[in-house]
């Protein structure tokens, strides 16, 4: 019999925008790293785990009860149902890695940006939802479709900037600045 775990911990204060941005950014970094995994679907599963962890931490920050099973269902509804044009991109890129050489090369080049953008968008969507008093039980993926798309596009810019800074670091031998 499967039991559902629920986690609630009161933090006692409103989170600062800087704290929220850092939390999202750290998960974007992790997502981009996972995007480099050359094994189809393994990267997608790891990405899902990172996004679940982000939502767990955001829920804790906003004193929202967390249920891993509920969050998985929400993430899969975002990826597979309500937002097929943007949110399903990480899965499609992951599957494309199965094509020898061309798919793997394209996936390794593309997936870090796509994974980072998707994680950024999910973080921003849930910060907005939780800040307005929402919970996982009141979340409606269809209502956030436009905002998710907007944040995904912004997330692509954020992830591209991170990638450029890392590439510059490799060329210059310097550490990238956090933005």
> Nearest-CA neighbor of 137 among 88, 76, 69?
69
pLDDT at 67: 95
Give CA–CA dist 121/149, Å, rounded: 8
What's the pLDDT band for 90 if we cut at 50, 70, 90?
A: low
Q: What is the pLDDT of residues 33-45, one digit of tens each?
A: 987 777 767 777 8
Stretch 147-173: mean pLDDT, rounded? Answer: 85
Domain chopping of the chain, boundaries = 16-163
> 176-179 — which CB contacts under 8 Å span 24+ positions?
178/25, 179/25
Measured CA to CA, the distance from residue 152 to residue 147 in angstroms comes to: 8
Looking at residue 92, its pLDDT comes to 53
What is the pLDDT at residue 123?
A: 97
Contact 132, 62 (CB under 8 A): no
Cα–Cα distance measured from residue 57 to residue 50, given in angstroms and rounded to the nearest whole number: 11
pLDDT for residue 164: 84
Distance CA 5, CA 66 (A): 8
H/E element holding 6?
Answer: strand 6-7
Q: Which residue has the tokens 């490799």?
A: 170
> Which tokens hold the place of 120?
């950024």
CA distance 124 to 20: 9
Lowest pLDDT segment from 9-23, 41-55, 66-80, 96-110 = 96-110
Whether 129 contacts 67, CB under 8 Å: no
- At residue 41, the 3 state secondary structure works out as coil
Q: What is the pLDDT of residue 9?
A: 44
């Amino acid at each position: 019999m499967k039991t559902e775990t629920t986690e609630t911990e009161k933090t006692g204060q409103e989170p600062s925008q800087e704290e929220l941005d850092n939390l999202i950014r750290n998960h974007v970094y992790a997502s981009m790293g996972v995007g480099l995994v050359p094994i189809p679907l393994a990267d997608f599963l790891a990405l899902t785990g990172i996004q679940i962890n982000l939502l767990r931490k955001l829920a804790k920050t906003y004193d929202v009860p967390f249920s891993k099973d509920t969050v998985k269902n929400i993430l899969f509804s975002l990826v597979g149902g309500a937002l097929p044009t943007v949110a399903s991109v990480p899965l499609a890129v992951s599957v494309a890695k199965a094509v020898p050489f061309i798919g793997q090369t394209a996936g390794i080049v593309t997936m870090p940006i796509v994974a980072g953008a998707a994680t950024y968008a999910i973080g921003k969507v849930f910060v907005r939802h939780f800040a307005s008093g929402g919970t996982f039980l009141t979340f409606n993926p269809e209502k956030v479709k436009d905002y998710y798309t907007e944040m995904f596009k912004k997330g692509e810019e954020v992830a591209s900037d991170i990638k450029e800074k890392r590439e510059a670091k490799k060329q210059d031998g310097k550490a990238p600045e956090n933005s």
